[in-house]
Amino acid sequence: MKLALVGDIGGTNARFALWNNGQIKSVKTLAAADFASPELAIGHYLSSLGLAPDTLSNLCLGCAGPVSGENFRFTNNHWTLNRTAFRQALELDNLLLINDFTAMALGMTRLRESERIQICPGAAESGSPSLVIGPGTGLGVSTLLPDDKDQWRVLSGEGGHVDLPIGSLREAALWQQLFGELGHVRAEDILSGSGLTRLYRSICALDKHVPQLSTPAEISAAALAGDPVAEEVLSLFCIWLGRVTGNNVLTMGTRGGVYIVGGVIPRFATFFQSSGFADSLCSKGSMSHYLKGVPVWLVTAEYPGLEGAGVALQQMLESASNFPGR
């Protein structure tokens, strides 16, 4: 029997699952660093299920980085991929590569109410696009658009690499500190797991504290325990995320709602709910009214990227069956 496989490959982890009857099955998470190539990781995944590589027919991978052309280099890990060689190696009938945040955005179409937490109240504007944004190994940003054929389209980009916006004198001072270290300060340089550590070091340097913490997990735990420096790190992180999110809502008109995804925020979800995120999201001067009432949810679903890769694969196969000559 020929199988369909979906993957969600980020900078750190590669998640794989079988896609069967519109559902993900047999999910496994592998460390990208443990494999020299995605082909080897997929071979290991199939072997762990007692399956041979030639049992695959269709494959969709959500990949960290801009997806175009014959050759693809993953962002934030060492993997590369040549479409033709990859397809031949796995004997695939169909290979679909999409940006990992395209997959993440499509995953929002399958959320249950129990898999999201309301952060900002409001009513989603019917027919309007939605924003999907999330700090993880990097900062992903995508726009989800409904169409008139009961399908979904995604505008993917590299929004995590926009310039970090400044909204206060304190932020300006920290930006100068960061600029001295990095030269060019992107949103992702702060709004990511490693960004928490970078922001902590910058605050310590600016205020002449001796750093005591070295990992995002330590910083989050210390902040929740009341450490004032770590608490400012989380507070500014949430404020900056609100500022970047608000800029994206204004740019793309995403009044269909905002989905906060990724592995960072759920570690301090209660703190995030009462943080300055909501105020900084709406603090846009004469356009502040535009953002009030835009609903924001924190997504707690376990595998939205895999679900979205399945949606993308299913839409592609349905389109091919409807237009077999294409």
The tens place of each residue's pLDDT in the chain, 326 residues long, gives 578 999 998 777 899 999 998 899 999 999 989 999 999 999 999 999 999 878 889 999 998 777 878 888 887 678 888 999 999 988 899 999 998 889 999 999 999 999 999 999 999 998 899 999 999 888 999 999 987 666 788 998 888 999 999 999 999 999 999 999 999 999 999 999 999 999 999 999 999 999 999 999 999 999 999 999 999 999 999 999 999 999 999 999 999 999 999 989 999 999 999 999 999 999 999 999 999 999 999 999 999 999 999 999 998 888 766 544 43
Which amino acid makes up residue 39?
E
Residue 7 annotated as binding?
yes
Domain ranges in the chain with CATH number 3.40.367.20: 106-162+240-299
213 vs 79: CA distance, rounded Å: 31
- Give the pLDDT score at 73: 83
Nearest Cα to 296, choosing from 255, 253, 240?
Answer: 255
Can you tell me whether residue 73 is helix, strand or coil? strand
- Output 68-72 pairs: Cβ under 8 A, ≥24 positions apart: 72/97
Contacts of 288 (CB under 8 A, 6+ apart): 282
217 vs 167: CA distance, rounded Å: 27
Residue 12 annotated as binding?
yes
112 vs 123: CA distance, rounded Å: 17
How many beta carbons lie within 10 A of that of residue 87, not counting itself?
15
152 vs 142: CA distance, rounded Å: 13
Residue 9 annotated as binding?
yes
Inter-residue contact 99 to 65 (CB < 8 Å): yes
Lookup: tokens for 87: 């397809």
Q: Count of residues for the chain?
A: 326
298 vs 84: CA distance, rounded Å: 38
- Give the pLDDT score at 324: 44
Inter-residue contact 307 to 24 (CB < 8 Å): yes
Contacts of 251 (CB under 8 A, 6+ apart): none
Residue 109 annotated as binding?
no
pTM of the model: 0.89
Nearest Cα to 64, choosing from 103, 9, 137, 141?
Answer: 9
Domain ranges in the chain with CATH number 3.30.420.40: 3-100+304-322
Quick one: fold of 3-100+304-322? Nucleotidyltransferase; domain 5 (3.30.420)
Residue in this structure with the two tokens 């993953």, named with its chain if needed: 74
> May I ask the CATH class of domain 106-162+240-299?
alpha beta
CA 116, distance to chain mean position in Å, is 15
202 vs 172: CA distance, rounded Å: 12
Residue 246 annotated as binding?
no
Residue 137 annotated as binding?
no
Nearest Cα to 65, choosing from 148, 138, 162?
Answer: 138
- Give the pLDDT score at 180: 94
Lookup: tokens for 129: 């696009």
34 vs 57: CA distance, rounded Å: 25
